[in-house]
Amino acid sequence: MSPASFGGDFGSMRVAIAELLEQAADVARAVQAELDDAHRLTKVDASPVTVADVSVQAIVCHGLSKLAPDIPVLAEEDADVLADRDGAFARTVFDQVRRACPDLDPAAIVAAVARSNDGESPVRWVLDPIDGTKGFLRGGHYAIALGLVADGHPVFGALACPAMGRDGNGLILVAAHGTGAFEREAGGTSWHPVQVSAAADVADLRLVESVERAHSAHGASAQVRDRLGAVAEPVRMDSQCKYATVARGDAEAYLRLPTRPGYVEKAWDHAAGALIVTEAGGRVTDIHGAGLDFSGPTLARNRGVIATHGRLHDDVVEAVQAVLDSKT
């Protein structure tokens, strides 16, 4: 899929996807305001899944089936969580989805959640319905992240960041390959170009990193900052809102440094944000300076992620390498 699928008009594509993500974000906000034990489960890998994760996946996948029915979707959640259709969790999901899609019955909602493939198709959507679930649970930042991957490269990306924007009312960011990155306030109609920071001195670098220590090595990040001579304390937030922060010029670098051997990044955790940073004028690589390879469901050929405003990217990669090499 490309702007050509929308009559060659990227603006139409941007609006259609933004409206879909805003619908989903409205439901996520409602769930966040009502959270209780009936709204969450624990998956077999011990990670949390909420009614919002599953409801948003259903809404977005259903919308994509209308906008681009021939393109498969790789999404994070499994329809198995709805196996007990009479259980409290499933019934709550059905109720929430119908806020945005009142005509969908339980069978259609389950089918929408299950509209996911193995991630090997050369052209596919990748969706993280609630990126930053722990942030969502604590009332912090989270994102609805949708990317379109073609032949291993993101070609379209969209982020709904419900806690960003003016007074935390929500922000939508979108980008398509070669067209730039744009944002609008949730509920708005005016799009504005997004540009990375113009900072040119390493001492002025502002870093953003994950709240969760399991997602990024905070100690190594601090050493990188010291090695660069950066003065500002890092900003910590959940989700691909970190990519949005770099793209908008509110930070110069996002570090996601390896925390344990063998960990492999998931495609849906990076596709949308990486393209938005790149189209805003920045640069995104792994910790070795290699481009991210989205040809599979994971970034198996990469290790860690570094996203910057571009001007000092090589300096950051060099500092990261020096710090990580000192630990081996």
Same domain, 24 and 73: yes
Residues 321 and 216 in one domain: yes
Say which residues have a Cβ less than 8 Å from residue 89's Cβ, sequence separation at least 6: 38, 39, 41, 51, 81, 82
Q: Is residue 313 within a helix (H) or strand (E), and if so which, with residue range?
A: helix 313-325
Judgement on whether residues 20 and 162 belong to the same structural domain of the protein: yes
The average pLDDT across 2-26 equals: 78
Q: pLDDT value at position 7?
A: 45
The predicted-structure confidence for 105-130, as pLDDT tens digits, reads as follows: 999 999 999 998 766 789 999 999 99
End-of-domain residue from the set 140, 164, 193: 193
CATH number at residue 32: 3.30.540.10
The reported pLDDT for the residue numbered 119 is: 66
Q: Write out the H or E segment, with its range, that includes residue 117.
A: none
pLDDT at 327: 73
Same domain, 74 and 178: yes
Of 193, 210, 225, the residue that ends a domain is: 193
Q: Which pLDDT tens digit goes with each residue over 60-104?
A: 999 999 999 999 999 999 999 999 999 999 999 999 999 999 999
Residue 217 pLDDT: 67
Same domain, 218 and 162: no
- Which of the residues 26, 53, 128, 131 is marked catalytic? 53
**Are 229 and 289 within one domain?**
yes
Q: Which of 193, 216, 244 is the C-terminal boundary of a domain?
A: 193
CATH code, 211: 3.40.190.80
Span 5-27, mean pLDDT? 83
User: Amino acid letter at 188?
Assistant: G
Q: Determine if the pTM surpasses 0.85.
A: yes
In terms of domains, do 169 and 23 share one?
yes
Indicate whether 310 and 217 sit together in one domain: yes
Most confident of 208-212, 242-246, 323-327: 242-246
pLDDT at position 231: 82
| CA end-to-end span of the chain | 43
Q: What is the mean pLDDT of residues 225-247?
A: 93
Average pLDDT of the residues in 173-179: 95
Distance CA 318, CA 315 (A): 5
Q: Are 114 and 28 in contact (CB under 8 A)?
A: no
Amino acid at 128: D
Whole-number Cα distances in Å, 282 to 126, 194, 196, 213, 252: 21, 11, 6, 25, 9
| 285 among known catalytic residues | no
One domain, residues 137 and 29 = yes
pLDDT on residue 288: 96
- Which domain range does residue 16 map to? 3-193
Residues 58 and 30 in one domain: yes
30 and 149 co-located in one domain: yes
Length of the chain: 328
Q: Which amino acid is at 120?
A: E
Q: How many domains does the chain have?
A: 2
* Average pLDDT of span 36-49: 72
Matching residue, tokens 């344990």: 260
The reply to whether 189 and 206 lie within a common domain is: no
**Percentage of the chain surpassing pLDDT 70?**
92
Active site residue 133: yes
Q: What is the mean pLDDT of the chain?
A: 90
Q: Which of 26, 50, 128, 133 is labelled catalytic?
A: 133
324 has pLDDT over 70:
yes
Q: Above 50 in pLDDT, residue 6?
A: no
